[in-house]
A and B are shown apart, each in its own frame.
Chain A
Amino acid sequence: MIDIMANLIWIIVVVIGGALISQSVHFIPVGGAPAAMAQATGIGTGTVQLAAGAGLTGLVSAGYMMSVTDNLPLILASAAVGAMIMIAATMIVGSWVYAYGVGCVPASAKVKYDPLTKYRQDLYVSQGTEGHGLPTVCFVSGVIGAALGGIGGALVYYALMEVGMSVVSTNPNLVAVVTIFSIGIFFVNSVIPSYNIGGTIEGFHDPKFKKWPKAVISSLVASLLCAIVAAIAIGQLSGGL
């Protein structure tokens, strides 16, 4: 009980981080298995996998930044940039493969015109498919999603490190325990939006995007439970680390 009350502020920060991760997943254009066959718009992999890949890359950047500075905005910004670079590198190479390897035009099946470039989309969708490739709007949406995911992951990591550091000074064992908890909370919150997304989403212009409040509310509840367990476990474990 003492652990929870003493770390209330950090528990709230973890919950906010979890909600950000949940929101971020809705931005990332994932097409799942159909996209891997150029049958749907987006990146050809699963929601959780890609969101976790980007967010955890952000966590690596945040972990490094936190070891040299305690400036929270800089730690969050570096996590956002780490995740953005990962997703941008993945999407640009994905575009190479769609354009040069598969011979598809990036086209969305959810909107008639790309909201950013104003390019016509429906005429470029080939027969029997739900779009293919990554139009500019999907790319930008993915970058925004990665940034939010990176910030969310870094907030969770930062808060749990503060919980641990109130008991012991920073050491590799503490970093290991906190990282594992952060990764766990990241996975929990990137799975929850999958129920909204149902396999494919193109980004913020997709009608499914409007469902995000449901996932975020669920994530708030799930993150609260995770945060309480993490605060107690790290608070108790840290004494022996």
Chain B
Amino acid sequence: MEPLVSMGVLALIGVAATIAGASEDLESDIGSQSNPNSQVQLAPQMAYPHRIYNKAISGEPPSNALMCTIGASVAVVLISALGLSPLFALVLGSVIAATVHGTYAMTATMGRCASQRRFKQPVYLDMIRSHTPAIMGYAFITTFCVLIVSYLMVVVLGHPFPMPVMAFIWGITVGAIGSSTGDVHYGAEREFQQFEFGTGLNASNSGNIVRYAESGVRDSFDNSWFCAKFGGPVTGLSFGMTVFLGSWITTIFNPADGLTTGWLSVIAGVILVVIMIIWNWDIEKKAREAFGPYKQDKEEEATA
């Protein structure tokens, strides 16, 4: 393929991956999935009943992998057996995946809230009715974008993995990334905004999540609104970087051109990783200067 065409396809893959990452994080924030959900689950037990959607279906990677594999399998069947246009097939596959995800979300939150009856945690049916379609909407966007990435990689860039397997792997990866990056913004910041910024979460404050909004009781729409300002977009950047940079090095230095070019692609990848290590060190240095030490040095105190 023309290098320029493959660069264009790669750009499209990068964009789709970025959107997938952002919507994946917001989907997990609005439904309160993954690690921060431990606090939502703990809150009623610490006498803080809340109005937050509580759907930890499973860890984010398996749940996203399930969604994406269902979508990809349906799409592949529609394309190969019924001869449907790929775009329609991907959309239909994503709709079915989002519906399945919505079913899991609803049963998970109802089961979890109902099991906490002894802690006086209500089951807010209106909250479930209003939030589930939004969760399904985000799930649709995530699945559709991951399917686009998988379809382009398999059909256009000629990757040997079959599309459902590719969607499964990217589903695991997008879940792992969303759970590692954007969820921290939800778990460490949004859930505990009443405590001083930058203190981390003192273990003694566990379960004491924010339950009241500017007006009325806080629900998961408020959390999604907040995380859409930072956590969601950076998760998108992270997944976009992973998918784009991973394929970019082999598009620029195509290993099919020879062994030397193949090794050049490896060197390019290592250089990118070294740049990120230095970048992280720089962030660490600046954060230490900006926030300062939290404690006095006991040895210094003793000498003084």
Which residue of B188, B256, B273 contacts A38 across the interface (Cβ within 8 Å)?
A: B188
- For A120, list chain B residues within 8 Å (CB): 293, 297
CB distance from A36 to the nearest CB of B (A): 4
From A33, A84, A170, give the contact of B269 (CB < 8 A): A84
Q: Are B280 and A176 in contact (CB under 8 A)?
A: no
Contact: B161 with A123, CB < 8 Å? no
B180 touches A43 (CB 8 A): yes
With A89-B242, A97-B181 as given contacts, are A74 and B187 in contact (CB-CB < 8 Å)?
Answer: no
Binary contact readout B154-166 vs A (1 if CB under 8 angstroms, 0 otherwise): 0000111110011
A96-B202 in contact given A32-B35, A78-B250, A123-B293 (Cβ < 8 Å):
no
Q: A32-B35, A43-B180, A85-B245 are in contact. Are A143 and B277 (CB under 8 A)?
A: yes
Interface size on B, residues (CB 8 A): 84
Given contacts A74-B263, A119-B288, A123-B295, contact A37 B176 (CB under 8 A): no
Cross-chain contact A94 with B266 (CB below 8 angstroms): no
Interface stretch of the complex, out of A5-13, A55-63, A210-218: A55-63
Of A45, A74, A179, which is within 8 A of B35 by CB?
A45
A191 interfacial by beta-carbon distance below 8 Å: no
Annotate A85-108 by CB proximity to B: 1 below 8 A, 0 otherwise.
110111111111111111111100
B7 CB–A CB distance under 8 Å? no
B196 (CB) vs chain A CBs: closest residue? A103
Given contacts A50-B176, A74-B266, contact A103 B197 (CB under 8 A): yes
Cβ < 8 Å to B, chain A residues 28-52: 32-33, 35-39, 43-46, 49-50, 52
Chain A residues lying within 8 Å of B160, measured Cβ to Cβ, are 63-64, 66-67, 170, 172, 175
| Nearest CB in chain A to that of B289: its residue | A105
C-alpha spacing A122/B204, complex, angstroms: 20
- A-contacting residues, B89-127, CB 8 Å: none
Is B5 part of the binding interface, using a Cβ–Cβ cutoff of 8 Å?
no
The B contact surface, by secondary structure, is helix
Q: Are B204 and A119 within 8 A (Cβ)?
A: no
- Which residue from A90, A95, A100, A170 sits with its C-beta under 8 Å from B177? A90
Interface of A is mostly: helix
For residue B8, CB closer than 8 A to chain A, the reply is no
Rounded to whole angstroms, the CA-CA distance of A89 and B234 in the bound complex is: 11
The total of chain A residues at the interface (CB under 8 A) is 82
The yes or no answer to B4 lying at the interface (CB within 8 A) is no
Q: Is B34 an interface residue when CB atoms closer than 8 A count as contact?
A: yes
Contacts of B187 in A (CB 8 A): 36-38, 44
Q: Is the CB of A106 within 8 A of B189?
A: no
- The CA-CA distance from A17 to B76 in the complex, in Å, is 32
Whether B38 pairs with A124 at a CB distance below 8 angstroms is no
Interface residue B51 (Cβ < 8 Å from any Cβ of A)? no
Determine whether the beta carbon of A74 is less than 8 Å from that of B161: no
Are B273 and A104 in contact, CB atoms less than 8 angstroms apart?
A: no
Complex: A101 Cα to B216 Cα, angstroms: 25
Task: Select B283's contact among A71, A90, A96, A102, beta carbons within 8 Å.
Answer: A96
> Which residues on the B side are within 8 Å of A179 (C-beta)?
161-162, 165
Contact surface of A with B, Cβ cutoff 8 Å: 32-33, 35-39, 43-46, 49-50, 52-54, 56-57, 59-61, 63-69, 71, 74, 77-78, 81-82, 84-86, 88-106, 117, 119-120, 122-129, 132-136, 139-140, 143, 170, 172, 175-176, 179-180, 183
29 A-B residue pairs with Cβ-Cβ distance under 8 Å, sorted by A, are: A37-B188, A44-B180, A45-B59, A46-B35, A49-B175, A60-B161, A61-B246, A63-B160, A78-B265, A81-B249, A82-B246, A85-B269, A88-B276, A89-B241, A90-B238, A94-B184, A95-B283, A96-B234, A102-B200, A105-B291, A105-B294, A119-B288, A123-B293, A123-B295, A127-B199, A127-B202, A129-B200, A129-B202, A132-B200
